[in-house]
Copies of this chain bind each other. A is one copy, B any other.
Amino acid sequence: MLVEGRHFLPGADPGALGHKALAVNLSDLAAMGAAPRWALLAISLPAVEEAWLAAFSGGFFALAERYGVDLVGGDTTRSQLITIVVTAMGEVPAGLALFRAGAKPGDDIWVSGELGAAALALVHPEIADAARRLHRPEPRVELGERLRGLAHAAIDVSDGLAGDLKHILERSGVSATVSYAQVPRAASFRKLGNPELEKDCVLSGGDDYELLFTAAADRRGDLEGLSRELGMPLARIGSITPGEPKLSVLDEGGRPLPYRGGFDHFGEMSAAK
């Protein structure tokens, strides 16, 4: 559910909105190992603007066609605020769906691609690479399907690495240690020279839509092969340990690194009470 003024600014590029509204749903399917099949779109608009609708549809359908997703229903209505709700459905063979709950002690923790760029774009919208990651995220559809039978648990990084990994820990009843230096990050951070911002974006920034998953240590070779085959970097960033759900992030010297937790959708509200 994308709401004007909360998830995007009034005047946001409608083509990017159409792309992202579907992309974040395909990312959720990928995180379960599902092949996307169908989508429904409910949209409220203050007025019918042909140019806006054409651009929005262009972004939506270009991505839908790329993955063979059919728009099979939805709703349109009028509202003061643009609100976009996409529901996507996919298929996965029985018994092979990936969940948050499957992580086991001894598992490696892996993440695809690189993290932090989308959050960086909120601070530095002039960095084009970062802005593209924020506005035109690429769902890891092929990777998700290939992780069937390979990963023990998976989630997509929408709320930030720390926050989303905690979802896996809570559902799986395990603990985790992540080595900060191993977490792959956008190249833009190197030029920027702002280690505090970098850490915040890489560990706690949302909207990257990479896949974060765990797999048995004896699958390292399989995953390195898959990475080469897909041309998709897969980084091993830590490991699952027994114990109460707790995430420790360590610096290069093995010292605990403080980090900001994941995003709480109603956090501002709670704080305002």
Are A80 and B5 interface neighbours, CB within 8 A?
yes
- The reply on A124 being an interface residue by CB < 8 A is no
Given the interface pairs A83-B83, A85-B1, A87-B40, the reply to whether A77 lies near B7 with Cβ below 8 Å is yes
A203 to chain B, nearest CB (A): 23
Are A3 and B78 interface neighbours, CB within 8 A?
yes
Who on chain B is nearest to A83 by CB? B83
Are B44 and A83 interface neighbours, CB within 8 A?
yes
* Chain A 83-123 interface residues, beta-carbon cutoff 8 Å to B: 83, 85, 87, 89
Are B83 and A79 interface neighbours, CB within 8 A?
yes
Picked from B75, B265, B269, the residue with its CB within 8 Å of the CB of A47 is B269
Tell me the bound Cα distance from A85 to B77 in angstroms: 11
> Within the oligomer, what is the number of copies of this chain?
2
| Chain B positions within 8 Å of A266 at CB level | 48, 76, 78
A75 to chain B, nearest CB (A): 4
Given the interface pairs A85-B85, A87-B87, the reply to whether A79 lies near B44 with Cβ below 8 Å is no
Are B77 and A1 interface neighbours, CB within 8 A?
yes
- The reply on A187 being an interface residue by CB < 8 A is no
Are B77 and A80 interface neighbours, CB within 8 A?
no
- The reply on A6 being an interface residue by CB < 8 A is yes
Who on chain B is nearest to A40 by CB? B87
* Chain A 223-242 interface residues, beta-carbon cutoff 8 Å to B: none
- The reply on A268 being an interface residue by CB < 8 A is yes
Tell me the bound Cα distance from A269 to B80 in angstroms: 12
| Chain B positions within 8 Å of A79 at CB level | 3, 5-6, 81, 83
Are A265 and B1 interface neighbours, CB within 8 A?
no
- Interface readout for A62-79 with B: 1 if CB under 8 Å, 0 if not? 000000000000011111
- Interface readout for A1-28 with B: 1 if CB under 8 Å, 0 if not? 1010111000000000000000000000
| Chain B positions within 8 Å of A81 at CB level | 79-81, 83
| Chain B positions within 8 Å of A48 at CB level | 266, 269-270
- The reply on A42 being an interface residue by CB < 8 A is yes
| Chain B positions within 8 Å of A1 at CB level | 42-44, 75-77, 83, 85
Tell me the bound Cα distance from A53 to B48 in angstroms: 32
Are A85 and B78 interface neighbours, CB within 8 A?
no
Who on chain B is nearest to A47 by CB? B269
Q: Can you add 4 more A-B contacts, CB < 8 Å, to A3-B77, A78-B269, A80-B81?
A: A6-B78, A6-B79, A48-B266, A76-B265
Question: Which 3 residue pairs of A and B lie closest in terms of their CB atoms, listed nearest first?
Answer: A85-B85, A1-B42, A1-B75
